[in-house]
Structure 1
Amino acid sequence: MRKVEVCSYNEKWAQLFSEESEKLKHIFGNEVVDIHHIGSTSVPGLKAKPIIDIMPVVKDINNVDKYTIEMQEIGYDPKGENGIPGRRYFQKGGDNRSHHVHIYQAGSYEIKRHLAFRDYLKSHLYEVENYGELKERLAQQFPYDIESYINGKDEFVKEIERKALEWTE
């Protein structure tokens, strides 16, 4: 059973993103348009689960499935769309997750949503502090219940996302 662990921001997360994104560029080659560090580990100062979220943007999402074996060879477990149409999702590390890869096709609304959320937090430090404290409380309250942890953040995340999308307009 996975334990929900939230820790202080770690400067190494940016380097771990860079190292992994190079591996992904090597696998996907010219299919990749861009690769973004998203999620809590991409926001300096934000407490987070120590899992690097990576968002490659590709020319054609349907071509991603051709690279499943190469992704498995570097430790990723393919999860298909995993509940979000138009996404290809991969996890690395089993119960001790280290990376999540969320692949979208260029032009997907999901790209805008993720980048707005990240960039809004980077520019609103009081939100970073509030979000980090909420995550820490929820991790203590639900140490072995990831679903309750996620549900506990849901309202706050949706509110930040709403503000972020307005802010980017």
Structure 2
Amino acid sequence: MGSTAVPGLKAKPIIDIMPIVKNIEIINTFNAKMIEIGYEPLGELGIKGRRYFRKGGENRTHQIHIFQFDNDFEIERHLAVRDYLKSHKKDVIEYGKLKEQLANEFPKDIEGYSSGKDDFVKNLERRAIEWRQKNKR
């Protein structure tokens, strides 16, 4: 569901996966199993109702963002951005340039990198959700 899911978008080599589950609370019972296969459980990590797992620590290779089936806002937000970018090449190019610039500026500072793209991403999310809503009809 992340940048690697969008053809042509510059992306760090990290796979983002978004399983949807019936009961988010049950996911906590799998933390030990996730650790066994190399994932670090980080709880919600800033997004209410999510269970986040990463693999590879600071040099992560995979991220799992699990949501409960009725968390419509978060599910919709993530899928809308992916689908919007797949249909809007100009935005892919612009976002890719920004990501590359920030990666060069903040090579070891994920907070700086994330903060640098925050305004762009919020604006992108808004456009993507509006686009998706309009195209659902």
TM-score, normalization by structure 1? 0.76
Matched, 1:64 2:27: yes
Aligned to 2:18, the other structure's residue is in SS state strand
Query: 2:46 aligned with 1:83, yes or no?
Result: yes
* 1:97 aligned partner, one-letter code: R
Alpha-carbon offset, residue 96 of structure 1: 1.7
**1:42 counterpart = 2:5:** yes
Show the 5 A alignment for 1:82-121.
Answer: 82-108=45-71, 109-121=73-85
Number of paired residues?
Answer: 132
In structure 2, what residue type is equivalent to 1:50? Answer: P
For 1:143, the aligned partner's letter is P
Q: 1:1-169 counterparts in 2 under 5 A? A: 38-108=1-71, 109-169=73-133
> How many Å apart are 1:146 and its aligned residue?
1.4
**Structure 1: which 5+ residue stretches go unaligned?**
1-37
Post-superposition offset of 1:72: 1.0
Question: Which letter maps to 1:107?
Answer: D
Structure 2 runs not aligned, ≥5 long? none
d(CA) in 2 for partners of 1:151, 1:95? 17
User: What is the root-mean-square deviation in Å for CA atoms of aligned residues?
Assistant: 0.8
The AA in structure 2 aligned to 1:145 is: D
**Mapped partners of 1:162, 1:40: distance in 2:** 17
Q: CA deviation at 1:95?
A: 2.4
Find the aligned partners of 1:148 and 1:95 in 2 and give their Cα distance. Answer: 14
| 1:87 CA displacement | 0.7
* TM-score normalised to structure 2 length: 0.93
Q: How much does 1:90 deviate? A: 0.4
Aligned mates of 1:119, 1:40 — CA distance in 2: 11
Runs of 4+ in structure 1 deviating by more than 6 angstroms, as ranges, are none
